[in-house]
Amino acid sequence: MDVSPDREAVTQLLRQWGSGNKQALDELMPFVYDQLRKLASNCLRAERPDHTLRATALVHEAYMRLVDSDVAWEDRVHFFAVSARLLRRILVDHARSNNRQKRGGEFQKIPLDEAVLVGPQGDKGIVELDEALQRLAAQDQRKSELIELLFFGGLTYDEAAAALNISPATVHRELTLAKAWLYRELGQGAA
């Protein structure tokens, strides 16, 4: 596996930050900001056009939560895995907040697609997806984490495999099973 100087620098800065060096965080952000912005954009790409949360705001909220986190950072992949979970949590919290402000209506069923997990059906869709992923995690934590890493985190199969300490072939197999489970759970498999 080719390790670029930037990847090494990110891992080194993460470890310094994890050891209490707050200046390392300031040095880290230029290395990871663009990738975090891409992750946020990917998360928001399939949202409805009038979504009130933008990629920059999502990254800034994630940054504020990361600053206050107490995580023993392992490497770049671990950082982006945690960031993916955090971005998902922020979107779900935002959706739940909006749903509390709206009146009535049942949750809508959303389609699950390999390229897009969150459809333009609105905030209710991401909440339903989050609840389904929580149920999947109760049955199989690794499959839930895999969906999170690949679709919310934007990690490659190889990066997700490294983060979960499994082979890329296992990633493919587990992803196929996880998607089938989610299709069935979200009511899309019986059409």
Give me the amino acid identity at 7.
Answer: R
Residue 131: partners with Cβ closer than 8 Å, 6 or more residues away = none
Predicted pLDDT at 140: 95
Predicted pLDDT at 138: 95
- Around Cβ 6, how many Cβ atoms within 10 Å? 11
37, 57 Cβ separation under 8 angstroms: no
pLDDT tens digits in sequence order for the chain, 191 residues long? 444 557 788 889 988 888 888 888 889 888 888 888 887 777 776 566 666 677 788 888 888 888 877 778 888 888 888 888 888 888 888 877 776 555 444 444 344 443 334 444 445 577 788 888 899 999 999 999 898 888 777 778 888 898 888 999 999 999 999 999 988 888 764 44
Predicted pLDDT at 116: 38
Predicted pLDDT at 47: 61
| Phi-psi sector, 165: left (phi>0), alpha (psi -120 to 50), beta | left
Structure tokens at 151: 């679709």
- How far apart CA 157 and CA 168 sit, in angstroms, is 6
12, 30 Cβ separation under 8 angstroms: no
Burial of 50 (0-12, 13-18, 19+ CB in 10 A): exposed
- How far apart CA 87 and CA 49 sit, in angstroms, is 19
Predicted pLDDT at 168: 92
Predicted pLDDT at 108: 42
Predicted pLDDT at 123: 52
Q: Report if pTM > 0.85.
A: no
